[in-house]
Amino acid sequence: MDISVVVPLYNEEESLPELFAWIERVMKANGFSYEVIFVNDGSTDHSWQVIEQLHAQAPDKVQGIKFRRNYGKSPALFCGFERAQGDVVITMDADLQDSPDEIPELYRMITGEGYDLVSGWKQKRYDPLSKTLPTKLFNATARKVSGIKNLHDFNCGLKAYRKEVIKNIEVYGEMHRYIPYLAKNAGFKKIGEKVVHHQARKYGTTKFGLNRFVNGYLDLISLWFLSTFGIKPMHFFGLLGSLMFILGFIAVIIVGTSKLYYMHHGMPYRLVTDSPYFYLSLTSMIIGTQLFVAGFLGELISRTAPERNKYQIEKTI
């Protein structure tokens, strides 16, 4: 099979028939063999009934997954990726803001130019300024942290993947924003970008609020930490704890030495316990010890993790 199209959705009953007809038209025009996997993320409207109707019309082309409740976009993509069988996997949103007309060129970039992943870039957006400005800041931060300098729109729903990519990454929580980063960490480094057409929403309202930017930054920090120190936590906690302990210990010595100096020269002095620096030093030593122990416990846990020695092996002979 050439292409699997994975479409996560939540309350998009009006757009689904039009979206599938559009995808079908593009696939037939280009002679692609394909499947469309709709993942109904706990919709409260008639989205699932529409998916059932589409499946009845084209049982060999339409598949559906229905969640009992709303889990989020990442779980929807994870389940869709598990079912996908196409050599190239395309993801797009169900709100008709992503154009299926982009599919042939995305497919060509994967199969013809050898990209592992191609992300869409909605260079001209039909979104309010309150959404576009935070998006630009978010993407700039993601580029800096991930090291993927050529991507302008990490959160674009329209992406294309080689099948091997989606079968070797785990999309969880709200990590759908960082699939290119997940792919890079899994060893898939040929990541490209294509300017895609962004259409104004035709039906319904957006399902994402401004809280996604806060969650996005927290997820980015988590992903950076896990990719850098996930299997070697002592390198982070142990180093930081050791530095704090050493600084606190040096400070205690300075406080004690200063008192002895004043005593030796007959100068007025105060008790060590009267100095706020003494308590700050002790606090630093205690926190340093706790961080060091946290790193040690993290190492013990990581050594028993089943994925500790799970590596991405591309070929063997």
Residue 234 has pLDDT above 60, yes or no: yes
- The angle subtended at Cα 291 by Cα 288 and Cα 295, nearest 5°, is 140
Residues 153 and 269 in one domain: no
pLDDT at 300: 80
Residue 258 within a domain: yes
Least confident of 54-58, 108-112, 166-170, 222-226: 222-226
- Spatial neighbors of 228 by CB under 8 A, at least 6 apart, are 236
Where among 171, 198, 229 does a domain terminate?
Answer: 229
Residues 271 and 142 in one domain: no
Residue 51 within a domain: yes
Per DSSP, 168 falls in state S
Residue 61 token pair: 């082309």
22 burial level (CB within 10 Å; 0-12, 13-18, 19+) = middle
Residues 116 and 225 in one domain: yes
pLDDT at 172: 84
- The angle subtended at Cα 12 by Cα 6 and Cα 13, nearest 5°, is 110
- Spatial neighbors of 88 by CB under 8 A, at least 6 apart, are 2, 3, 4, 106, 107, 110, 111, 160, 161, 162, 163
**Distance (Å, rounded) from C-alpha 242 to C-alpha 292?**
7
Condensed to tens digits (0 to 9), the pLDDT of residues 137-196 reads 888 888 988 889 889 888 889 999 999 999 999 898 888 889 999 999 889 989 999 999
Residues 194 and 59 in one domain: yes
Residues 50 and 192 in one domain: yes
Where among 213, 229, 245 does a domain terminate?
Answer: 229
Residues 141 and 255 in one domain: no
Residues 191 and 48 in one domain: yes
Condensed to tens digits (0 to 9), the pLDDT of residues 109-146 reads 999 999 999 999 987 766 665 666 777 888 888 898 88
- Is residue 202 within 8 A of residue 126, CB to CB? The reply is no
Residues 263 and 171 in one domain: no
Residue 160 token pair: 């294309």
What's the whole-model pTM score? 0.76
Per DSSP, 45 falls in state S
Q: What domain range includes position 261?
A: 233-303
What mean pLDDT is predicted for residues 199-218? 66
Residues 93 and 124 in one domain: yes
pLDDT at 304: 72
Residue 210 has pLDDT above 60, yes or no: no
C-alpha distance from residue 287 to each of 239, 244, 249, 254, 278 (Å): 12, 7, 12, 19, 14
Residue 307 has pLDDT above 80, yes or no: no
pLDDT at 159: 96
Residue 204 has pLDDT above 70, yes or no: no
- Spatial neighbors of 44 by CB under 8 A, at least 6 apart, are 11
Residue 313 has pLDDT above 70, yes or no: no
pLDDT grade, residue 223 (50/70/90)? confident
Where among 194, 210, 229 does a domain terminate?
Answer: 229
Residues 246 and 107 in one domain: no
What mean pLDDT is predicted for residues 49-75? 95
- Spatial neighbors of 123 by CB under 8 A, at least 6 apart, are 152, 195, 198
Q: Report which of residues 240 and 259 the model is more confident about.
A: 240
Residue 314 within a domain: no
Residue 316 within a domain: no
Closest by CA to 153, choosing from 113, 125, 190, 185, is: 125
Residues 126 and 273 in one domain: no
Residue 26 has pLDDT above 80, yes or no: yes
Residue 206 has pLDDT above 70, yes or no: no
Residue 84 has pLDDT above 90, yes or no: yes
**Distance (Å, rounded) from C-alpha 120 to C-alpha 90?**
11
Least confident of 73-82, 138-147, 200-209: 200-209
Residue 206 within a domain: yes
pLDDT at 311: 58
**Distance (Å, rounded) from C-alpha 262 to C-alpha 274?**
15
**Distance (Å, rounded) from C-alpha 190 to C-alpha 114?**
8
184 burial level (CB within 10 Å; 0-12, 13-18, 19+) = buried
pLDDT grade, residue 102 (50/70/90)? very high
pLDDT at 314: 62
Most confident of 92-101, 222-231, 295-304: 92-101
Residues 218 and 250 in one domain: no
Q: Report which of residues 188 and 260 the model is more confident about.
A: 188
- Is residue 63 within 8 A of residue 138, CB to CB? The reply is no
